[in-house]
Structure 1
Amino acid sequence: MGAMSRRGASGAFSPMAMIVIVLVGVVSFAGLGVLSAYAPELKKGDDGRAHALSRSSVGYAATVRLLQTSGRGALVGRGPLPASAEDGLLVLTPALGSGAVNLDDFDHPGPRLIVLPKWATMPDPNRKGWALATRIVNDKASLAVLPADLRKGLTLRAPPPEVGPLRLYRPDGQLFGLQPSVRAPRSLEGKGWTPVLKDQDGRMVLAMHTESQTYVLAEPDLLNTTALKTLEGARTAVALLDLIHAEDTPVVFDATLHGFARARSLLRLLLEPPLVGATLVLVALAVLAGLQAGVRFGPALKPRRAVALGKLALADNTAGLIRLAGREARMTPLYAQLIRASAARAIGAPRGMDDPALDAFLDRVSVTVGASSTFTALAERARAATASDMMQVARDLHLWKQELIRGRQ
C-alpha cells in the first residue's frame, strides 16, 4: 500500500499533469475575460418586455425580423449608430415608469418615432419569454415617457377596453390600412402636432411634432407582435414604418432604454481592431516567456562576480592571454613534456636519462602494460597539433599516463 501511495502521489504531480492544469487555467481565464467583455451583447433580451429583443406579445422582435426578411434594412441599436444609419428612422420604445426620454442622448439627425407604452405586463412564470398582460395603463402614465416639451398640451384618448377593428386613414381621408383586432385603440389630441394617420373617428393615431422630426405613435399594437397576428395587420405595420422613413434607409429599433447598451471597456477595446494586433503580440510573448521558464537546459546559472577571485581568476586570465596571442597550439608539445615527466615519476623511471632514452623507456613500458598508444606517437601528434585538435591530443596524453600508472600498479 505504501508503494502504491507513493506512485499515485508522484503521478498526480507529473510534468504532463502540471502542463494540462496550467493550460486549462489559462484557457479558462481567457474565456472568462472575453465573455466579460461581450456579456451585454450575449444577452438575448427575450424577457417578455416591450422592446426590440423581446418576442412576447408586446415585444418588437417579430417586427424587426419581418422588416429584415422583406428586404428592408432593420437592426437593433445597442450603442452609437453607424454612419449608414444617420438618415434612417430611429424607433424608441420606452418602458412604462422609466421616466421621460431624453432625446439629446441620441445623436441621430434623422426622424425619430416614439411608441407610447400601453400594457402593464409581467413575465409568464410557465413560459420563458412570454408576457402576461395585466391591465391597460392610464393616459398620464403613457405620456410620462415623452419629453416635457413634447408632452405639453398633448392628451391621450383611452376608450373603454373593447376589441374591434382599427382602420387607419391619411389626413386627406384615403384609407391607409387595417388592423383587424385592437383592444381599446388609442389616439392623440393636442396643438402643435401634424396628423400623419387618423382612425375612423378622425383622431390622430400617428402624429408628427411641427418643430422637430419626432413622431409619436399612440397605439403600440400597430407595431408589436400582436399586430402581426394577421396578414393585413403585418402589411399595415410595414406600411406605417415605410410612410415615415426614406426609401433605402434602415429602421433602427433602440434597445438601450431597456438596459441593453453596448458598454465601453478597456478589455473590449483590447479585443477589437486596431488594438487586437498588439494584444495578440502580447499573448504570444507571454506564451514564449512561459515556455522559456518551464523548459530550459539545466538549472539556472548563478550570477558570477564581475572580477573573479583566487586560482580560478588566475587560470582564466592566463587562458585569455594565451588565446588572445594565438599560442594555444604551441602549448601542446609543452604539455606532452609535462605529462612525460609526471608519468616517469609515477612509475619510477631511472633518473639521469636523457630525453631520447626516456622516450624509449616509456614506449617499452607502454607496450608491456598494453597501453592504447606509445609516448613517441603522442609526442609527434602534439608537435603537429592545431588549435582545433589540441584538446583531443591532451585527452589522449592524460589517458596514456593513467594507463601506465594502473599497469605498473
Structure 2
Amino acid sequence: MSDVPVTDGEMRGAFDVRTVAILIAVGIVAFLGMVVLGAYAPELRSGRNGGAHALSTAATGFSGIVTLAGATGRNPQVVRNPNALSTENLVVLTPERAATDMTKVLALRRVKPTLVILPKWVTTPDPRHSGWVNYVALLPVREPMGVLAAQYPFKVTRYRSGGRPLVALPWMPPSLRFAAPRPLYTLAGPGVRPLLSDAAGHVVLAQIGQGPLYVLADPDLLSNIGMRDAAQARAALDLLDWLNSTGADGIVFDVTLNGFGRSPSPLKLAFDPPFLAMTLTLAVALLLAGIQATARFGPPRRRPRAIAFGKTALIDNAAALVRKAGRQGGLGERYVQVVRDRAVGVFGVPTRLRDGARDGYLDGLAGRARFSTLAEDARSARHPRDMLAAAQALHHWLWEKTR
C-alpha cells in the first residue's frame, strides 16, 4: 500500500504553525518557571507574617537590628539551613512559643555563643498594612518560661519598670545603656547569672549554665520597637558585639525555629555555581535539538509500498516466507525437478524415458559436470549456503548446455 496524498488544507489542520509554536513556547516557559520557583521557594518566602523573628518588619520582629548590623559592617546573616548554625559566630535564636523544640539547636551550640530571646507579645495581623501587627495582649509568663524549661528551668516575672535605665555589670562596656521597656519581663532561678538588670535587681539578660548561653527575658531591647530610639539601637549593637566570640566575622540570626528553615535541595543545586554551567549547557542542547526536530530538510519523501509490484518482489516475498517457516531443506528436490523438466524440453529427451533413465540421458550430454551428481548435491543440502551453491551449479550446468 502507498501513502494517500492529502491536500494543503488537510495538512494545515485545526492549528497553523505559528499557533502551535506559541503554545509550545508558553508551555516550556511555564515549566521552567515552575522548576525554578520550586527550587527557590524557601528563599522567596519573605517572612513578612508579623512574627517575632529576623525577617519580620512588624513591631515585634527583629529585621531592624539585622539592617542596622549590616549598615554598620557587622555582617549579619539570616540563616534558613540548620546545618549553618554550627558557626563560631554569635547565633541569635527567637523562639515564639514554649512548644518550640530547642533540643537540637542547643546541643549544636553547647560551647558556642548563643543568645535566646524569649517571646513577649500576642498580636494579630494588621489588615491595612502587610507585615504589620496589632497589639492584643502580653503572653502569659508560662510561654517564655517554657522555652528552655526542659534543660534550664527558670521563672519569668512581669514588672512595671517605669522606663528607668537598666544596669549592666561594672566590667561590661559602659555603652550598654538601655531604658527598661514597659512593661518589663525578667527572669530568675538556679544557674541564672545576671548581666543586665533593672534598678531593683530583676534580671533582664543573664548567662545560663556554664557555657556561653545567654537569655534575654524582654525582647523589646532588640526588637523593632526598641530600634526606633537611636540610643537604644546603639546599645543593642554594642551588646551583640560584646556577646559575640573573639575573632567573629559576623552575627547569625536563625529563622529555622520560626518555620522558615529549609534543607539542601538537589534541584536548587542545579541552579547554583558550579553546576549552573552544566544546566545551561543541557538547556541549550535541548533547545537546539528541538529546533532541529521542527525543521524539515528537503522535500517530504513518500514511504515505499509495503508490498512491491513485479516478479522480483513476489520471489523475494516467497523466499522470506520459506525462511520464516524454516523449510529451506526441502527446496533441493523441487529445484532439481524444475531444472530436469526444463532440460527435457530443451534437449528433446524422449518421452518414453522415466526417472533414472532420464537422468542417465542428461548425464550423457557433453560437459564437465554430470546432472545426477549435481542433483544429488542439491537433494542433500540443508544449510542455506550449501543449497545456494547447489542451485547455482545446476543453473550453470543448464546454461552451459544451451549457450
Aligned equivalent of 1:116, options 118, 125, 132: 118
Q: 1:295 to 1:184 in 2, by over 3 A?
A: same
TM normalised by structure 1 equals 0.66
Please tell me whether the aligned partners of residues 53 and 60 of structure 1 are also in contact (alpha carbons under 8 angstroms).
yes
**Partner-residue secondary structure (3-state), 2:253:** strand
Q: Alpha-carbon deviations, 1:349-370, whole Å to 9, x = none? A: xxxxxxxxxxxxxxxxxxxxxx
- Give the match's secondary structure for 1:164: coil
Task: Out of 118-127 and 261-270, give the one that drifted further.
Answer: 261-270
Match of 2:90 in 1: 89
State whether residues 50 and 61 of structure 2, in contact with CA within 8 Å, keep that contact through their aligned partners in structure 1: yes
Q: Does 1:291 align with 2:291?
A: yes
One-letter code aligned to 2:215: V
Deviation for aligned residue 1:313 = 12
C-alpha separation between the residues in 1 aligned to 2:172 and 2:292? 81
Equivalent residue, structure 2, for 1:209: 208
Which residue is 1:392 aligned to? none
Distance in 2 of aligned mates of 1:172 and 1:187: 21
TM-aligned CA distance change 1:11 to 1:173, over 3 Å: closer
Contact 2:47–2:56, Cα closer than 8 Å, also in 1:
yes
Residue in structure 2 matched with residue 281 of structure 1 by the alignment: 281
Task: Give the structure 2 partner of residue 253 of structure 1.
Answer: 253
- Give the secondary structure class of the aligned counterpart of 1:252: strand
Counterpart secondary structure, 1:225: coil
Mapped partners of 1:138, 1:170: distance in 2: 29
* Unaligned stretches of 5+ residues in structure 2: 1-7, 316-403
- Quick one: percent identity of the two aligned structures? 35
Distance 1:244 1:310, change over 3 A: farther
Q: Counterpart amino acid of 2:218?
A: E
Q: Determine the structure 1 residue equivalent to 2:220.
A: 221
The separation in 1 between residues aligned to 2:169 and 2:304, in whole angstroms, is 90
Amino acid at match of 1:232: A
> What secondary structure does 2:196 align onto?
strand
Partner of 2:159, secondary structure, is coil
* Deviation at residue 53 of structure 1 after TM alignment: 0.5
User: Could you say if the C-alpha distance between residues 209 and 10 of structure 1 is closer, same or farther in structure 2, counting changes exceeding 3 Å?
Assistant: same
Residues 248-272 of structure 1, C-alpha deviation per residue, up to 9 Å, x if partnerless? 4211110111111134333223223
Q: Residues 200 and 286 from structure 1, CA distance in 2 versus in 1: closer, same or farther, beyond 3 angstroms?
A: same
- Cα pair 2:166 2:180 within 8 Å, conserved: no
Judge which range, 190-199 or 120-129, deviates more. 190-199
Partner residue of 2:103?
A: 102
Q: CA deviation at 1:124?
A: 1.1
**Aligned-partner residue type, residue 45 of structure 1:** G
What is the CA–CA distance in structure 1 between the aligned matches of 2:181 and 2:300, rounded to whole Å? Answer: 82
**Which amino acid letter does the alignment assign opposite residue 266 of structure 1?**
P
CA distance in 2 between partners of 1:300 and 1:163 (Å): 93
Whether contact under 8 Å (1:88, 1:251) holds in the other structure is yes
Question: Structure 1: which 5+ runs fail to align?
Answer: 1-5, 315-409
The residue type equivalent to 2:91 in the other structure is L
Q: Distance in 1 between matches of 2:43 and 2:29?
A: 21
Cα distance change of structure 1 residues 80 and 209 upon mapping to structure 2, 3 Å threshold: same
Which residue is 1:127 aligned to?
129
> Do 2:100 and 2:257's aligned partners in 1 also have CA atoms closer than 8 Å?
no
Q: Aligned in 2, Cα 1:302/1:103: closer, same or farther, shift over 3 Å? A: same
User: Within 2, Cα distance between the matches of 1:202 and 1:214?
Assistant: 20
Partner of 1:374: none
Q: 1:63-82 residue pairs with structure 2 within 5 A?
A: 63-80=65-82
- How does 1:139-288 map onto structure 2 within 5 Å? 139-146=141-148, 148-151=150-153, 154-160=154-160, 163-170=162-169, 177-180=176-179, 182-246=181-245, 247-288=247-288
Q: Deviations over 1:225-277 (max 9, x none)?
A: 11112111111111111111035421111011111113433322322344334
> Conserved in 1, the CA contact under 8 Å of 2:166 and 2:196?
no
State the number of aligned residues.
302
Residue 75 of structure 1 contacts residue 250 of structure 1 at CA under 8 Å; is this kept in 2?
yes
CA distance in 1, matches of 2:175, 2:198: 10
Query: SS of 1:280's equivalent?
Result: helix
Give the aligned partner of residue 369 of structure 2: none
TM-score by length of structure 2 reads: 0.67
Alpha-carbon shift at residue 103 of structure 1 (Å): 3.7
RMSD, matched Cα: 3.3
1:376 maps to none
Deviation of the 1:197 alpha carbon: 2.0
